[in-house]
């Protein structure tokens, strides 16, 4: 009887100590612990082909699950992670989760893409590419399945951005510029980058059908993307008026709550399956490298 009570008291004390030490941590300290403990998970927001309504893949969006079970949105910790350089370790964990999910759920369709958000530090150093390649080779998954996306800020250092994008494409990935239109990008700036796709920020999609100062901007963005032969993905699509406009302007892809919110992997797999029926062709996985 004495031993179980002793063990119980011991565990209780350990629990209290952990609780107190976490409480006293700074936000950076908490993030460091979260990285150590791998407290991140990924939700996938379906990306839909507007012509057919089929799901062609998803965007990987990180969430932080704290020990109390609450989910923290990326907006609340990615900026701090970027400031401190911790983002690179988070990117690595996101890559590992995505590749493991693709493998575990046999999502090895060449036509199924997962877009991973990468940040300026990942692009500037190019360090992201060996990490992705290593994970994909280990799992025997085709690089064509992984798309990379970064905001304009991510591509600010134009020389290194150009080199990283070129190498990523050589390896078989597609590269997109995210949140387009929210920064300072011009046609000239875009011309300097060998990109595959452009994602129109939600702010411009929101302006469709409203007579505001920004509502004409979206047509310019679409024209610019077409001039440069970029595929276009509209973000944050929430209603049919927006879909009609996007279709009329030959925008190929969209994501947004109208189609689906970001989903836990099992629900995403389900969404993809329902949307494609048996039309998605599996790719014979490459022999996994040990």
Residue choice 101, 179, 196, 206 for contact with Mg ion (CB under 5 A): 179
C-alpha dist (Å) from residue 56 to 41, 118, 135: 21, 20, 22
Instruction: Identify whether the C-beta of residue 136 lies closer than 8 Å to the C-beta of residue 142.
Output: yes
The reply to whether 238 sits near ligand C2E by the rule CB under 6 A is yes
**Burial label, 170 (beta-carbon count in 10 A; 0-12, 13-18, 19+):** exposed
The site partner of 152 among ligand C2E, Mg ion, none (C-beta below 5 to 8 Å per kind) is: none
> How many CB atoms neighbour CB 156 within 10 A?
16
| Site track 132-161 with Mg ion (rule: CB under 5 A), x = hit | -----------------x------------
Residue choice 125, 210, 257, 281 for contact with ligand C2E (CB under 6 A): 257
Q: How far is the CB of 17 from ligand C2E (least distance, A)?
A: 32
- Sign of the torsion formed by the C-alpha atoms of 115, 116, 119 and 122: negative
Q: Which stretch binds ligand C2E (CB under 6 A): 29-37, 49-57, 252-260, 282-290?
A: 252-260
| Residue closer to ligand C2E, measured from CB, 46 or 103 | 46
The reply to whether 73 sits near ligand C2E by the rule CB under 6 A is yes
H or E element that contains 248: helix 240-248
The reply to whether 256 sits near ligand C2E by the rule CB under 6 A is yes
Residue choice 31, 34, 56, 61 for contact with ligand C2E (CB under 6 A): 61
H or E element that contains 60: strand 55-65
Q: Which stretch binds Mg ion (CB under 5 A): 64-72, 75-83, 117-125, 258-266?
A: 117-125
H or E element that contains 57: strand 55-65
The reply to whether 119 sits near Mg ion by the rule CB under 5 A is no
Residue choice 117, 185, 242, 255 for contact with Mg ion (CB under 5 A): 117
| Residue closer to ligand C2E, measured from CB, 183 or 285 | 183
Instruction: Identify whether the C-beta of residue 181 lies closer than 8 Å to the C-beta of residue 159.
Output: no
Structure tokens at 268: 């995403």
Structure tokens at 90: 């988070």
C-alpha dist (Å) from residue 51 to 110, 249, 250, 251: 19, 12, 9, 9
Q: Which stretch binds ligand C2E (CB under 6 A): 87-95, 132-140, 246-254, 265-273?
A: 87-95
Instruction: Identify whether the C-beta of residue 48 lies closer than 8 Å to the C-beta of residue 55.
Output: yes
The reply to whether 137 sits near ligand C2E by the rule CB under 6 A is no
Footprint on this chain of ligand C2E (rule: CB under 6 A): 45, 61-62, 73-75, 78, 87, 91, 94, 117, 119, 178-179, 235-238, 255-257, 262
């Amino acid at each position: 009887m004495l031993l179980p009570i002793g063990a119980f008291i011991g565990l209780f004390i350990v629990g209290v100590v952990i609780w107190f030490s976490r409480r006293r941590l700074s936000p950076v300290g908490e993030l460091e612990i979260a990285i150590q403990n791998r407290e991140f998970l990924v939700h996938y927001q379906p990306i839909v082909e507007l012509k057919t309504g089929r799901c062609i893949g998803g965007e990987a969006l990180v969430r932080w699950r704290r020990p109390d079970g609450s989910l923290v949105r990326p907006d609340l910790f990615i900026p701090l992670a970027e400031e401190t350089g911790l983002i690179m370790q988070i990117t690595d964990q996101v890559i590992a989760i995505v590749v493991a999910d693709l493998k575990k759920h046999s999502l090895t369709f060449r036509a199924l893409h997962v877009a991973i958000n990468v940040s300026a530090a990942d692009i500037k150093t190019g360090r992201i590419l060996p990490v992705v390649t290593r994970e994909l080779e280990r799992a025997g998954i085709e690089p064509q399945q992984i798309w990379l996306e970064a905001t304009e800020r991510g591509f600010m250092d134009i020389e290194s951005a150009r080199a990283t994008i070129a190498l990523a494409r050589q390896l078989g990935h597609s590269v997109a510029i995210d949140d387009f239109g929210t920064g300072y990008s011009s046609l000239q700036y875009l011309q300097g980058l060998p990109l595959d796709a452009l994602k129109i920020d939600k702010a411009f999609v929101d302006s469709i059908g409203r007579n505001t100062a920004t509502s004409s901007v979206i047509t310019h963005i679409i024209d610019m993307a077409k001039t440069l032969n970029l595929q276009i993905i509209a973000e944050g699509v929430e209603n049919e008026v927006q879909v009609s406009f996007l279709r009329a302007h030959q925008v190929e892809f969209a994501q947004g709550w109208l189609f689906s919110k970001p989903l836990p992997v099992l629900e995403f797999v389900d969404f993809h399956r329902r949307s494609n029926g048996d039309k998605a062709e599996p790719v014979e996985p490459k022999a996994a490298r040990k």
